[in-house]
Amino acid sequence: MDEALLRALTPTVIGILCRRGADFAAAEDAVQDALVEAVRVWPDDPPRDPTGWLVAVAWRTFLDAARCSGSPAARWSASTAPSRSARPAGRPGRPGRARPLPAPPRRRHGVPARACR
């Protein structure tokens, strides 16, 4: 196990995950999990391409974490729900009358719309 190699590859792998669409914190968490897996697996079976191995494991870890964070519709409605502080000043809200939320983004072939850009 080459600790210097892992230290050198960590920023590269985080950068690759961020370019693929992960936010920095999620990419950092996924790379950390991939490094733990590397420490566990590499002494017995070192990969030919350590960067590719770390990117593949970190990306899969990121995707698993993103899928497990709740249903897409629940995440979408929670992020777009109007808050009480979003009301314009001087216009009191009407108690008991909720404004309907817009429909969630459409899916293409089972993939969320924002992933199909």
Residue 38 tokens, joined:
């590397």
Measured in degrees and rounded to the nearest 5, phi and psi for residue 111 equal -110, 135
Of 1, 12, 84, whose CA–CA distance to 46 is shortest?
A: 1
Q: Are 15 and 57 in contact (CB under 8 A)?
A: no
Q: What is the mean pLDDT of residues 35-44?
A: 91
pTM here is: 0.59
Measured in degrees and rounded to the nearest 5, phi and psi for residue 70 equal 115, 170
At 2 the pLDDT is 81
Burial 44-55 (b: 16+ CB within 10 A, else e): eeeeeebeebbb
pLDDT in tens, 52-109: 999 999 999 999 988 887 655 655 565 565 555 555 555 555 566 666 767 666 666 6
pLDDT in tens, 74-87: 555 655 655 555 55
